[in-house]
């Protein structure tokens, strides 16, 4: 009796970003009641080894846990799976190759949104590991878009902020993000929030200047809704609320 087109969310990296993706899917779906919402099965089992610690410092690989959760979601009926974690997309090709479900990439969805906005250059806030693996830079390069990243010192406070949010301290997280935010505000016309903790940390800034941000978790939510629309023939995606919101509806 599993609903048709069940979407699996391979989350827990971190849990707050996982709940944020759920909220964004819900808020961006036009409904008149509960029953029309998109069916989700959300794994927020956070015992997945730290992605950055593995990629940068040789810690345990998260891949076995990611594969395990992918299979669990598929076994429970998910026919499409998304991951609200940018860094984890380093393993996206391997997961996609192993998956029987379709998989939607947060990186592709976000770069496509920047491309559609017609930008030739964009700033990038992300984890050290996302920057080091070039996940965004190579996708942006293919799309002919230049990428600006914070200098090394400023990047350090980005990481401190992301870890503060993961530790449940949004106030400290926001203080840490001030310098990288100002840096990119000066250097770029728009910023990719290329880590799913960042839209939670910079929620107020995003509300104030929606057109300045490409929120990767929001573009993933939009990709989920579009995928579901494509399968069901329904029209569900809300038009953007803010004028000048560059994230396409």
Cα dihedral across residues 178, 122, 124, 117: positive or negative: positive
- Residue 56 as a binder of a copy of itself (CB under 8 A): the answer is no
Residue closer to a copy of itself by CB (options 15, 148) is 15
The helix-helix angle for 170-187 and 152-166 (nearest 10°) equals 150
| Given 28, 88, 162, 195, the catalytic residue | 195
- Residue 117 as a binder of a copy of itself (CB under 8 A): the answer is no
Residue closer to a copy of itself by CB (options 142, 238) is 238
Beta-strand pair 213-215/191-193: parallel
For 134, phi and psi rounded to 5 degrees? Answer: 65, 20
Whether the CB-CB separation of 38 and 29 falls below 8 Å is answered with: yes
Residue closer to a copy of itself by CB (options 30, 208) is 30
User: By CB under 8 A, what part of segment 64-103 binds a copy of itself?
Assistant: 64-65, 68, 72, 75-77
Task: Please give the distance of CA 220 from its chain centroid, rounded to a whole number.
Answer: 6
Please indicate whether residue 80 is annotated as part of the active site.
no
- Residue 50 as a binder of a copy of itself (CB under 8 A): the answer is yes
Beta-strand pair 7-10/80-82: parallel
Residues in contact with a copy of itself by CB under 8 A are 1-3, 6, 12-16, 18-19, 22-23, 26-27, 29-37, 39-50, 64-65, 68, 72, 75-77, 163, 166-168
């Amino acid at each position: 009796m599993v609903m048709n087109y069940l979407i699996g969310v391979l989350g827990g990296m971190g849990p707050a970003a996982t709940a944020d993706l759920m909220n964004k899917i819900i808020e961006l779906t036009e409904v008149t009641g509960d029953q029309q919402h998109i069916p989700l099965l959300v794994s927020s089992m956070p015992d997945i080894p730290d992605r950055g610690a593995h990629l940068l410092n040789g810690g345990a690989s998260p891949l076995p846990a990611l594969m395990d959760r992918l299979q669990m979601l598929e076994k429970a009926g998910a026919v499409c799976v998304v991951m609200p974690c940018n860094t984890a997309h380093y393993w996206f090709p391997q997961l996609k190759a192993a998956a029987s479900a379709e998989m939607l990439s947060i990186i592709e969805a976000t770069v496509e949104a920047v491309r559609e906005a017609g930008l030739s250059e964009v700033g990038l806030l992300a984890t050290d590991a996302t920057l080091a693996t070039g996940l965004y830079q190579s996708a942006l390069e293919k799309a002919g878009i230049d990428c600006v990243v914070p200098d090394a010192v400023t990047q350090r406070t980005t990481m401190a902020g992301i870890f503060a949010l993961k530790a449940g301290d949004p106030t400290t997280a926001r203080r840490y993000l001030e310098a990288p935010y100002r840096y990119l505000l000066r250097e770029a016309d728009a910023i990719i929030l290329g880590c799913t903790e960042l839209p939670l940390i910079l929620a107020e800034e995003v509300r104030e200047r929606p057109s300045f941000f490409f929120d990767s978790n929001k573009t993933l939510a939009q990709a989920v809704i579009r995928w579901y629309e494509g399968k069901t023939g329904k029209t569900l995606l809300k038009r953007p609320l803010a004028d000048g919101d560059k994230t396409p509806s």
